Amino acid sequence: MPDHLGVPAAGGDAVPDTGAASGFVRFDQVSVTYGAGTAQAVPALSPTDLGFAQGDFICIVGPSGCGKTTLMQTLAGFLKPTSGTVSVAGVAVTGPGPDRGVVFQHAALFPWKTVAANAGFGPAMRGLPKAERQARVEYWLNSVGLWEFRNRYPYQLSGGMQQRLAIARALANEPDILLMDEPFGALDALTREKMQEELHAVWKRRGMTVLFITHSVDEAVYLGTDVVVMSQRPGRILQRIAAPFARLAGERDIRRIKAGADFVTLREQVLALIWGEGGG
Amino acid sequence: MSGQGAAAGERWTRLGLGTLSVAIGLGVWQALGSLHLIPSGLLASPAEVWAAFIDISRHGYRGTSLGQDVIATLLRAVAGFAVGTLVGVPLGLWMGMSRLTAAAADWMVQFLRPLPPLSFLVLLSLWLGTGDTAKIGLLALTAFPIITSATYAAVGSVSRQKIQAAQSLGASSGQIFCHVLLPAALPTISTGLRIALAAAFSTVVAAELMAGSDGLGWMIFSASQYLRNDIILLGIILLGLLGMGLNSLLLGLDRGLIHWRGRE
C-alpha cells in the first residue's frame, strides 16, 4: 500500500472512497474475468465500486493491462461484467446505447463515408429530421475545425483530425456520457495538448459527463475533476483524488497550469501511488 | 507536381515494358517457325494465326460465326459466375454473422473448394444433360466455394471497434449490416469475386468440351480434331484476351466504387 509514501489516502482505511454510495453512474461490485469458468480464466478487474455525478470528468489512470479499458467497456455495454451491475441514472446497463458515446484510441471511423456522413452517423441512424441532422453536423464539424473538410473522406485527414472527427461523431449524437478510451494516445505531444484544451472547452460548454481512460498521469491530472488510480491486474481502485485544474479550463493557459507547483505536486502524488503499487 | 510526374512516368514504363515483352514473345514465336526450329504442322506462325482470324471472322467456323463463339463463351462464364455470386455472397455473409450457419456450412464449402471442378463434369452432364445448364452449373460450382470463403473471411475481419462505434451511436443490427459490415467487407469480397471469375473462366473451356456446337472451347476442341493448330492458338489467344478484359472490368469497378480499399 502506498501509505508509507506520505500519500493522504482518502477515507484513511483499506477501502478507498470511490463515491459509489450515490451517483449518476454507478459501478456496484463490478468484476470481470475473461474466460470465466475455464482453465484459462484471467481475472481482469477485481470487484469494483465507483460512482460519479452528472458533469464530472472522471479520469482513470493506471499501468497497461490494469483493467481500465475493461471497466469502461462494461459501462459502454460492450462487455457484460462477470459479477456486479453497472447503472446509469438508476437503470442497469444491458448493452451499448446512444446515451453513452464512445471514442476509441484508434478513431474507428467509417472510411466509406464522407467526413460529414461520419459526423452525422448517429443522428441519421436514429432517424432525426434532416434539418436537425444537418444543423448538428455543421455545428460539431465547426467546433472541431473540420467543416471545410466535410466532403473529404476520413483517410484524407491527419491522425489528429481523424480523432477530432471521432469526437465530433460521438458528440453530434448528444450523449449524456462520453466514454473515451485513450483517445489521444496515438497523437504527438503538441496535438495532444491542443486536443486536451479543446475537449475541456466542449465539456464545459455541454456540461456532459466524461469517463476518460489514459495511462498518462499528466493528462489525467490536467483533464479530470477526479483522478481514479488503478492497480495492476487484476485491477482495483487504489484511490480517487479530486483535481482542481479541469475547473480552470479556459481561464488559464494549459502550459501555465501544467508548469504550476500545485499541478506538479498532484501529478507526483498520483505517480507515487502507481510506483508504490508497482514496487511493492 | 513531381509525384504526379513520377506516377505518369511509371505508367509509361509499365505500358512500354508490357508492349515490349508481348513484341518479343511474338518475335520468338515467329522465329521458331521461320527458322524451322518447330515444324509448322505443330506450331502455326503468328501470320498463320492472323490469317485464320481474318478467315474465321469473315466466314465463321463450322457454321458458327466467331462473334457467336465469343459471346457464347462469355455468357456461360458470366452466367456461372453470377450464379456462384448470388449463392456465395449471401451464404458467406450469413456464415460470417451466425456461428451456427458457419458451423453447418464451413466443412461443405472447404470440402468443395479444393476439388477440381472437372471431377463434377461427368455427374453434372448425367443429371443436367449436356446443354448450357450443365455448363453453367459447373462454372457456378467452381466460383461458389471461392466466393463463399472470401465473403465469410471478409466478415470475420471487420474491425470490432467499428461495429461497437456504430452500436454506441444507436444503429440497429440491420443498419450496422448495411452501413458498416457490408462496406467494410466489400474490398475482400471484391478480391474473392475476381479470383472466382478467373477460376470460372478457366473452367469454361473444359465445360465446352462436352457436346455442343459453339463457344471458344468448342472451337479449340473441334480444331484439334482437324489438327488446325492455327485455330487452336487463335482460340487460346482470344480466351486470354477475354479473361484479361473481364478481370480489368471487375478491377475498374473495384477501383471506382471501393475507394476506401486498404485505407483506415
DSSP string, B56-99: HHHH-BTTB-HHHHHHHHHHHHHHHHHHHHHHHHHHHHHHHH-H
pLDDT at B80: 93
Chain B residue with CA closest to A78: the answer is B164
pLDDT at A225: 92
Q: How does strand A83-88 pair with strand A25-34?
A: antiparallel
Rounded to an integer, what distance in angstroms lies between the CA atom of residue A110 and that of residue A155? 9
3-state secondary structure of B4: helix
- Residue A153 and residue B259: Cβ atoms within 8 Å? yes
Chain A residue with CA closest to B259: the answer is A112
Lowest mean pLDDT among A83-87, A230-234, B99-103, B157-161: A230-234
Total CB pairs under 8 A between chain A and B: 77
- Residue A169 and residue B159: Cβ atoms within 8 Å? no
Residues of A within 8 A of B186 (CB-CB) are: 112
Q: How far does the CA of residue A179 sit from the closest CA of chain B (Å)?
A: 10
CA distances from A32 to A48, A234, A237 (A): 10, 9, 14
The mean per-residue pLDDT over the stretch A204-228 comes to: 91
Q: In B, residues 153-212, which contact A (CB 8 Å cutoff)?
A: 159, 161-162, 164-172, 175, 179-180, 183-184, 186
- The DSSP bridge partners found for residue A229 are A61, A239
Domain ranges of chain B: 1-38, 40-257
- Residue A112 and residue B260: Cβ atoms within 8 Å? yes
Note whether A100 contacts B: Cβ–Cβ < 8 A. yes
Q: How far does the CA of residue A175 sit from the closest CA of chain B (Å)?
A: 9
User: For domain B40-257, which architecture applies?
Assistant: Orthogonal Bundle (1.10)
Note whether A108 contacts B: Cβ–Cβ < 8 A. yes
- Residue A155 and residue B168: Cβ atoms within 8 Å? no
pLDDT at B88: 94
Q: Which residue has the cell 462505434?
A: B165
pLDDT at B4: 62
pLDDT at A19: 58
Q: Is the pTM higher than 0.80?
A: yes
- Residue A173 and residue B179: Cβ atoms within 8 Å? no
- Residue A155 and residue B184: Cβ atoms within 8 Å? no
The mean per-residue pLDDT over the stretch B196-221 comes to: 86
- According to DSSP, residue A18 is labeled -
Q: Which of B164, B186, B263 sits opposite A78 (nearest CB)?
A: B164
The mean per-residue pLDDT over the stretch B72-76 comes to: 92
Q: Which residue has the cell 512516368?
A: B9
Q: How far does the CA of residue A126 sit from the closest CA of chain B (Å)?
A: 6
pLDDT at A12: 39
- b/e B105-123 (16+ beta carbons within 10 angstroms → b): beeebeebeeeebeebbee
The grid coordinates of residue B154 equal 471478409
Which pLDDT band, with edges at 50, 70 and 90, does B121 fall under?
confident
CA dihedral sign, ordered A55, A56, A57, A60: negative
The grid coordinates of residue A34 equal 475473461
- Residue A76 and residue B168: Cβ atoms within 8 Å? yes
- Residue A96 and residue B263: Cβ atoms within 8 Å? no
The mean per-residue pLDDT over the stretch A121-143 comes to: 93
Which pLDDT band, with edges at 50, 70 and 90, does A14 fall under?
very low
